[in-house]
Amino acid sequence: MIIAVFPGQGSQTPGFLTSWLELDGARERLEAFSEQAGVDLVAAGTEWDADQIRDTAVAQPLIVAASLLSWSALNDRSTAAVAGVAGHSVGEIAALAASGVLSDEDALRLVGLRGRAMAEAAAAVETGMSAVVGGDETAVLERLDALGLTPANYNGGGQIVAAGELPALAELAAEAPQGTRVIPLQVAGAFHTRFMEPAVETLRAAAADVQVSDPATTLWTNSDGSVVTEGRRALDLVVAQVSSPVRWDRCMASFAEQGVTGIIELSPAGALTGLAKRALRGTPTVAVKSPDDLDAAVSLLKEDQA
């Protein structure tokens, strides 16, 4: 059982879309995505620097657009289909499109709105996020609570992402829990916390008018790692997730329970396959960072069908 996973914010790097635009029709598709999202994604993915693509209003549609471009390219090359999909944070919107819950067009419209609404919410208070790697989970959570920080992402593989106001994050880094490393993330706000509640209301109003279908393949939710079978509920969970913790640890536990035998991460790939290598040891993974990686993904799918 091979599944596809879609990364979240922070995975983008300057120029990472350049090689993808060499594929037939990719530039035209990305230009259409740009109109739907309200961002020049061609320039963002090929020319803009790290600070420009760190902007939440840019990063979120850029990541989803890249994921859908690489997803389409994979399906064009492979006669074998993946057996399920899941996305991390904003990657859930790409997963909804890949599973048929949303059209690509609606996915880009929603993620454009999501990015702008979350950027506006983040501007109200100076906040951020830091990954806490290693250590005892109970001790880490106690330290976060003492500093008024929120565990925004339970990523599994010994990683929890803390979110909150910048002085508290600085204090966490200065006095990290025993056995941990604290790594500041390239994001512009405390996502998946109470600071994002205004964005939830904006996104909920927009999502109410979007046409949805039930998933055509297995679809996991970040809310608790379970499989979602109703399209409207899947979209409602993604909306609520903006101010709720991401439980990627539970998604990976569910992958194991469901018998997942391989994971393909779509562009901009690397983070989720890295977590899988630590939490799902022995499970083959392919990170599709560029078109050169598509052959490895197709081979993994063919091996599963053999």
Bridge partners (DSSP) listed for residue 118: none
Choosing from 70, 78, 88, 192, the catalytic residue is 192
CB count within 10 Å of CB 108 equals: 27
User: What's the CA gap between 202 and 152, in Å, rounded?
Assistant: 20
Q: Using CB atoms within 10 Å of the CB of residue 140, give its burial: 0 to 12 exposed, 13 to 18 middle, 19+ buried.
A: buried
Residues 6+ apart with CB under 8 A from 287: 265, 269, 270, 273, 293
Contact between residue 86 and residue 3 where contact means Cβ atoms under 8 Å apart: yes
Backbone angles phi, psi at 2, to 5 degrees: -95, 135
Residue 55, pLDDT score? 92
Residue 306, pLDDT score? 61
**Annotated catalytic, 88?**
no
Q: Using CB atoms within 10 Å of the CB of residue 296, give its burial: 0 to 12 exposed, 13 to 18 middle, 19+ buried.
A: middle
Nearest to 193 by CA among 242, 145, 144, 159: 242
Residue 125, pLDDT score? 87
Residue 80, pLDDT score? 86
Here the contacts of 71-74 (C-beta below 8 Å, separation 24 or greater) are: 71/4, 71/6, 71/98, 71/266, 72/29, 73/20, 73/23, 73/26, 73/291, 73/294, 74/4, 74/264, 74/266, 74/288, 74/294, 74/297, 74/298
Nearest to 33 by CA among 51, 19, 20, 49: 20
Choosing from 11, 34, 67, 89, the catalytic residue is 89
CB count within 10 Å of CB 229 equals: 11
Residue 215, pLDDT score? 98
CATH architecture, range 2-122+193-305: 3-Layer(aba) Sandwich (3.40)
SS3 263: strand
Please give the CATH superfamily to which domain 124-184 belongs.
Answer: Malonyl-CoA ACP transacylase, ACP-binding (3.30.70.250)
User: What's the CA gap between 301 and 287, in Å, rounded?
Assistant: 13
User: What's the CA gap between 120 and 222, in Å, rounded?
Assistant: 23
Model confidence, pTM:
0.93
User: What's the CA gap between 147 and 129, in Å, rounded?
Assistant: 13
Written as one letter, the residue type at 279 is: A
Tell me the domain boundaries of the chain: 2-122+193-305, 124-184
pLDDT in tens, the chain (306 residues): 999 999 998 889 999 999 999 999 999 999 999 999 999 999 999 999 999 999 999 999 999 999 999 999 999 998 889 999 999 999 999 999 999 999 999 999 999 999 999 999 999 888 999 999 999 999 999 999 999 999 999 999 889 999 999 999 999 999 999 999 999 987 888 999 999 999 999 999 999 999 999 999 999 999 999 999 999 999 999 999 999 999 999 999 999 999 999 999 999 999 999 999 988 999 999 999 999 999 999 999 988 776
User: What's the CA gap between 254 and 80, in Å, rounded?
Assistant: 23
